Structure 1
């Protein structure tokens, strides 16, 4: 038993007996202090497939307080303390003892004004002791402390502009290493009738004693959004990122230790989308420049320039045309590359129509495109044509005028798609693809529950320069059934088969789920019982067969909450058993 358990247990018992109200107030001068918290205990027993058993006992507690200084509009304060004591035993020898304590404090000065100031402070102490392990390398104390301070000053102008200044510092310290960092930040948001400007600046300095490493990171970002008209929008952005690293590790051979890198990016894009016009146009340019320097090495860098532009023309509600052009230029210092691609296409989509009073709704569509691309001495031209059609029908079964509100529907969907791809030039391609699919859906709301079933199948075949065919069949069945006012049952089965004849793969996956819920188990109010069974099976050797059965019993009375979970898991024949118990008293 952990050496801190007896004292902490006495405190738990005393507070459980003394605290009867959900929240109580202590006088703190003229300002009330609202106090709340929780105390609890948890037990975990885990037995894995190797026969190892891990037993964990944990005591935990927290207390929170909030108040204000003078008046709520002047300053509000919040504080929280948390303590966790953990004792973990391994049946083959070995014991872990851990104590984790955390304190948090925050101060909000003038929280309802246009210039609020926020201070947040957090400190934690973690002590982990490993004893009795056969491996002497882990039989050491592993203690560390953390600390963090954040200051945020905001200012909101009468015009709606917002400015924010940030400062933060954090520290992580252990017996072997120490890490410190400082962060300085600024963010401005200016709003005008047709403009919006967002500027950000952030600098971070970090020191790591274990590697004698110092890092400095600077980020500058400026975004401009311009709305000259309702139809036109122009977005521009520029940002700069620098990273300086200094590393000083004593070695027999002095290695390069200092490095600097800088990344500059700029972009500008426009979007013209008038409401009363069939035209829609967009375009833009993006530039990036990366420079890297390292002590003792040759400097390196890379530049890239990308441009894009295109339009869309909605000729009718069924027919539209589109075209776009993209270019890319890359310069890595030792090599340059230029590439481009263009596309022009048209799409026609018919209205839904009924097929000869059969109740089937029918629609067809066609898509054609011409493409050109080039770069590095390679040029290709291509064309694509896609023709497709689909039909569906829904049947409503049963008596729709019944007062029982029972509804049963059956829906059949059919679709077919033919695609022809042709490409010439330095890379030739001639390919035809045929896709067929069918889906049958059945749903029912009756007898206090809902049911759903679906059977779907797809067949895809390619011919020409590339031969392949694949099939996919999927079956799904689910049912949600209300047994009584306080209990329900749900379950589902899914079977999927995928066959890819080019590789000879034939995969069948099966999954099943069954769940039971009861909100008043054994006739006791607030006693909830949930049971979930999940099964999955795959036909391939690299697939995973998994069975999992989870039972959970939870009880809540007033401010006392208890729960117990038993989980049995089998993964590819390896069994794992888990028993978990938790009790929490809130105040």
Structure 2
């Protein structure tokens, strides 16, 4: 029976690996060489027949986890319990090879055995067992030279049996990587290639592979010009789904900075993608070629220009062998000029042309001004500020294929406002009060609707305290805002928002911290034309407690957090949410114990969680 469930080759590998781990844990394998000391010796004094020193590191341990989940809904209670035992061991070895080329080598082995048992009040119990083995090896040939080479392999074999199944599920994942890089002596030319192969094997299915080949190089013929190129070929085979995909991508990039304020960048990109499923029953392909160029210049702080151009062609073939070809160009020009500290002009031109949608030209020119005045009075420390701003823009769109969609819009906008601020020391803290109003108006030749005239009024008063001696921080803030339309149409609804925030943090003696917060918000909306309105109230409260040494026990931590929220809508039923989370952590040497209790209540559901976790590495 055992030989049928577990092949002989795998049993031999697992038994050998487990024997090595057991001997290492008992102390029979205690070879630890002075790797750094041997490396400091002269190569001439090392005999070519001498075995290179090996540095071993072993990590062995396990953990126990118990989880109880109790949920209650509509007077129906259900309890789920899960107990998990897991043992793991990892072995890492490092060494080097001096001749004929210096190389560093590294390898590792790992084994994990887990057993889980679940029990539910609504169903029968179930068990799950699993064995996972890991292996890795890598070599770096002359890593500090101009021609470094690296190769690595990683594999993971997992055997899982769960539920009432009498057979095992075996999965294996393997990744192989090869890379070679090079660099010229002067550093102007550098590049390399890499090959990666992923293999996934599942029981009763042929292996799936994913191969990626990448080639890249960068060349600096002379500063500040740089040319980079990269090519990627990817092939993916999935016999389980009868799928085959091949993707190719090529990029050529040129960048330069002739001056400190000028940058040039160009990109040529060619890509293709071919996919096939179920023996050419469903087949598709796509090819794309695009050329992109960017230029930006900022000769001074006042004027800045940027331009970009793109040309592309896209060809796609579907399952019915129909081919669609899309060709197009796009030109974009942007400019910005600072006339003065308060006046700025911006403009942009975008020209797009495709063989399907035709040509579209879009232009935008705007002139903006924002003038601010600041008056500080001597009236008990009040600070009064006012500002006014204006914006003039013209948007023009021309569509050759659909002239009825062409449009020209001229818009004018203005904004004005003022604010009053007061600061004062109060109860060893600072009190800050502010009230401001802003009104804006915009007119557009494109819009036929009446433009509203919204007035925004916002006020806040807050108090902050930070005591060094008392080790207390506190914040209280009350805010109110009102937005309404003072024009003639009154189409914009009136909105009032009120908020209250209170926070406090206390650092208590004996490694204790206590903090809490209360956040309230009320929103009221009403429309004068439709005589309709809505209101909502939301509240949140939170209390956190941390004890760095509960019951005066060293290396222990206890945290407790209580959260409560309530959302009340004017026309719906309120929704309440409660949460209480507690965590206790105790560390004794290499042993780590965790105990967690969590309770949540929301939407008529009550969930209680009790979890215990113990971990001990050797």
Q: TM-score range by the shorter chain?
A: 0.7 to 0.9
Q: 1:414 to 1:106 in 2, by over 3 A?
A: farther
Provide the residue aligned with 2:560 in structure 1: 531
1:39 is the counterpart of 2:61: yes
8 Å Cα contact 1:441-1:453 kept in structure 2: yes
Residue in structure 2 matching 1:288, options 301, 309, 312: 312
2:345 aligned residue: 321
Q: In structure 2, how many angstroms separate the alpha carbons of the residues matched to 1:574 and 1:60?
A: 36
What pairs up with 1:364-513 in 2 under 5 angstroms?
Answer: 364-374=387-397, 375=399, 376=402, 377-378=404-405, 379-391=407-419, 393=421, 395-397=423-425, 408-425=429-446, 430-446=451-467, 447-461=470-484, 464=489, 466-501=491-526, 504-513=533-542
Q: Can you list the C-alpha shifts for 1:258-301, whole angstroms capped at 9, x where unaligned?
A: 21111233322222123x44111122223333221024242123
Change (3 A) 1:533 1:213: same
For residues 534 and 143 of structure 1, what CA distance do their matches in structure 2 show?
A: 44
Partner of 1:25: 32
Unaligned runs of 5+ in 2: 7-14, 36-50, 72-76
Which residue does the alignment assign to 2:239?
A: 209
Residue 31 of structure 1 aligns to a residue in which SS? coil
Identify if the C-alpha distance between structure 1 residues 412 and 398 changes in structure 2 by more than 3 Å, giving closer, same or farther: closer
Match for 1:570 among 572, 579, 601? 601
Normalized against structure 1, the TM-score is what?
A: 0.85
| 1:169 corresponds to | 197
Q: Residues 139 and 451 (structure 1 numbering): CA distance in 2 closer, same or farther, change over 3 Å? A: farther
Deviates most, 527-536 or 173-182:
173-182
Query: How far off its partner does 1:392 sit?
Result: 5.5
Match of 1:264 in 2: 289
Greater shift in the superposed pair: 407-416 or 162-171: 407-416
Contact kept, 8 Å, 1:421 with 1:429, in 2: the verdict is: no
- What SS does the corresponding residue of 1:430 show, helix, strand or coil? coil
Give the distance between the partners of 2:354 and 2:481, measured in 1 at CA.
42
Contact 2:103 2:139 in 1 (8 A): no
1:154-206 deviation per Cα after TM superposition (whole angstroms, max 9, x unaligned): 22333334313110001112124332111100222334421223322111101
Paired residues of 1:318 and 1:351 also in contact (CA < 8 A): no
429-438 or 541-550: bigger deviation: 541-550
Length, aligned pairs only: 561
Q: 1:244 aligns with which of 267, 271, 274?
A: 274
Pick aligned residue for 2:136 from 84, 88, 104: 104
Cα deviation for residue 443 of structure 1 reads 1.2
2:229 is matched with which residue: 182, 199, 216? 199
Alpha-carbon distance between aligned partners in 2 of 1:459 and 1:342, rounded to the nearest angstrom: 34
- The DSSP-based 3-state class of the residue aligned with 1:457 is strand
| C-alpha RMSD of the superposition | 3.4
Q: Does the C-alpha gap of structure 1 residues 340 and 408 become closer, same or farther in structure 2, counting only changes over 3 Å?
A: same
Partners of 2:132 and 2:493 in 1: how far apart? 59
Bigger-Rg structure (1/2)? 2
Aligned position for 2:256: 226
For the structure 1 residues 339 and 227, does the alpha-carbon distance in structure 2 shift closer, same or farther, using more than 3 Å as the test? Answer: same
Deviation of 1:305 after TM superposition, in Å, equals 3.2
In the TM superposition, what is the alpha-carbon distance from 1:381 to its structure 2 partner?
Answer: 0.8
* Residues 310 and 130 of structure 1, relative CA distance in 2, 3 Å threshold: same
Following superposition, the deviation at residue 336 of structure 1 comes to 3.5
Deviations 1:302-353 (A, max 9, x none): 3443332222222233332222233333444xx5462524131213242644
TM-score (norm. length: structure 2): 0.81
Summarize the alignment of residues 29-178 of structure 1 with structure 2, pairs less than 5 Å apart: 29-49=51-71, 51-70=78-97, 74-91=103-120, 92-93=123-124, 94-132=126-164, 141-160=168-187, 161-177=189-205, 178=207
Aligned to 2:11: none
Q: Return 5+ residue gaps in structure 1 as ranges.
A: 133-137, 250-254, 400-406
Whether the aligned pair in 2 keeps the contact of 1:349 and 1:366 (CA below 8 Å) is: yes
